[in-house]
Structure 1
């Protein structure tokens, strides 16, 4: 479903069709019954009590239906006039349900893409998923252990459980996966030299390069101009 498929109305009963944005950001305007196409580009909000106080062309019956504490969806526009259109309660709920569904779909797609990528990496780099999970387990353990040590009310009886995995053994068992994950970690750096080294090493490995070649790139990421005696 697209946002333009939603049947929406303003608080004074005007039908509204929200148009899709060509850029994928915000909205691409709207068509309001009795007004025509308007140049709204983003969704905004209006608090019920302010709508009750400031809304124009709203009869007493419709004004009485406004919930003071509810936050209504709205759009602002400057053409063909400078105004704000506030959606009624049912329409605001429809818009929120649409945004939730849209967000959930994006999360689900991102998860599928991540799982597909991990399967592809697993086929190329033996043991990479096992090693990645082990590293994550140890990182979480260290984080919880540090928090427990800093907790003055912790008597030592509820310390986190150490993972069963042996990182050194796994790194030795899966050298290509190990160096790939090291290269991947470099791409999280804010230093562009280190980031570039990580990307270069990953590309080398993806194209059949050796762990030794990739490690040489990673160990020499600092430019010569930054070195001194």
Structure 2
């Protein structure tokens, strides 16, 4: 598969019959939970859904995930992270996302290229131009819809650290990074306003989930369970 076959159409519309939905947000925003709840809601209505994540989602990308999310915060430079994340995303696209979209399925992905634009492009280094250049060259595909779960950085970081897992390398950079991340995500939402929808994540989980489902329903074709009618 060549990069020319993996890209969105020139007008921004996807050339695939499926729907590509991504979730973004700072650490601890609850986006992973909302990804799962959305997938369950759509599946309950007979819609074929592929629930995946980044970095990861394919065997090769999951190996890279362990490299970039575990260990000392200073283990990698922002430049090295950018190359690793791009390699993981390329494998993920080839092996899982594009085949699902070509089959007409809904792909729900926890993080995508917008996270790289934030973490490596702005907050970890002045690399936004490099991020976008690599994305155009090696990925060439944007989501049809991106849901930003907005959350107060202090609350989100406390929630993320409370998980006490092994993948806390970025959380270990502290509150300052999370604050810059939130501001950056909101700027991205304004920059790509055609596909971003911002949802307040500082509420009960079920309330957030209802808003998410409402937003996604408007993007689904009317033939998919009538949700897009």
More RCO (CA 8 Å, sep 6+): 2
- Computing the radius of gyration from Cα coordinates, the structure with the larger value is 1
The interval holding the TM-score normalised by the smaller chain is under 0.3
TM-score between the two structures when normalised by the length of structure 1:
0.24
